[in-house]
Amino acid sequence: MVDPTSDLGEDVDESTAPECTICGEKIVQSPTHRIVTTIEDGLVAYRHFCSDECRDEWHDDD
Ligand SMILES: [Zn+2]
């Protein structure tokens, strides 16, 4: 049996995958995955988005 994910060096699966900040969808090795770095209360925080559409929606709220 060949595990196609074992060569990537990443241990990402459904249980550890980040969720989209906007729609809450689990992001598992998605090519449209976007990460935005923000400062919240003086700490670095990472916002995960499943696509550019969700990222743009988040900016609209600001
Ligand atoms: Zn989303």
| Phi and psi angles of residue 25, each rounded to the nearest 5 degrees, phi first | -75, 140
Q: What is the mean pLDDT of residues 20-41?
A: 94
Residue-range definition of the domain harbouring residue 38: 17-62
- As for how many domains the chain has, the answer is 1
Q: Give residue 53's pLDDT.
A: 95
* Domain assignment present for 8: no
**Considering the chain, what percentage of its residues have pLDDT values greater than 70?**
73
* Domain assignment present for 1: no
* Domain assignment present for 42: yes
Q: What is the mean pLDDT of residues 38-56?
A: 94
* Domain assignment present for 35: yes
Q: What is the mean pLDDT of residues 51-57?
A: 95
Which position has the higher pLDDT, 53 or 15? Answer: 53
Q: Which of 45, 44, 48, 46 is nearest to 23 (CA)?
A: 48
Q: Give residue 16's pLDDT.
A: 85
* Ligand 1 center to 11 CA (angstroms): 21
Q: What is the mean pLDDT of residues 28-45?
A: 93
* Ligand 1 center to 27 CA (angstroms): 9
* Domain assignment present for 43: yes
